[in-house]
Copies of this chain bind each other. A is one copy, B any other.
Amino acid sequence: MPEPREIEVFLLPTLAQPEQFAGRTVVVVDVLRATTTIIHALAAGAAEVAVCQEVDEAFRLARQLGDSAVLGGERAGGKISGFDLGNSPQEYTAASVGGRTVVFTTTNGTRAMDRCREARRVLIGAFVNLSAVCRELLGADRIAIVCAGTDGHVTREDALLAGAIVGELSRAGAWRRNDQAELVRDAWHAAAADLAADPLSRTLRASRGGRNLIGIGHENDIDLAAQIDKFDIVPQLDLATWRIRAS
Interface residues, chain A, with chain B CB atoms under 8 Å away = 11-12, 15, 153-156, 159, 178-180, 182-184, 186-187, 189-191, 206-208
Give the docked Cα–Cα distance between A212 and B144 (Å): 22
Q: State the main secondary structure of chain A at its contact with B.
A: helix
27 contacts between A and B (CB under 8 A): A11-B154, A12-B15, A15-B154, A153-B178, A153-B179, A154-B179, A154-B180, A154-B183, A155-B179, A156-B179, A156-B182, A156-B183, A159-B179, A159-B183, A178-B208, A179-B207, A182-B207, A183-B183, A183-B184, A183-B187, A184-B187, A186-B187, A186-B190, A186-B191, A187-B187, A189-B190, A190-B190
**Listed residue (A155, A159, A186, A190) with the most chain B CB atoms within 10 angstroms of its CB:** A186
Give the docked Cα–Cα distance between A191 and B182 (Å): 10
CB distance from A18 to the nearest CB of B (A): 15
Q: Within the complex, which residue of B155, B190, B207 is in contact with A187, where a contact is CB–CB below 8 Å? A: B190
Give the docked Cα–Cα distance between A187 and B191 (Å): 9
Q: Contacts A11-B11, A154-B11: A208 and B186 contacting too (C-beta < 8 A)?
A: no
Q: Are B208 and A179 in contact (CB under 8 A)?
A: yes
CB neighbours of A207 from chain B (8 A): 179, 182
Closest 3 CB pairs of A and B: A186-B190, A156-B179, A186-B187
CB distance from A148 to the nearest CB of B (A): 13
Give the docked Cα–Cα distance between A178 and B67 (Å): 44
CB neighbours of A159 from chain B (8 A): 179, 183
CB neighbours of A182 from chain B (8 A): 156, 187, 206-207
Give the docked Cα–Cα distance between A227 and B67 (Å): 67
CB neighbours of A180 from chain B (8 A): 154
**Listed residue (A153, A154, A178, A207) with the most chain B CB atoms within 10 angstroms of its CB:** A154
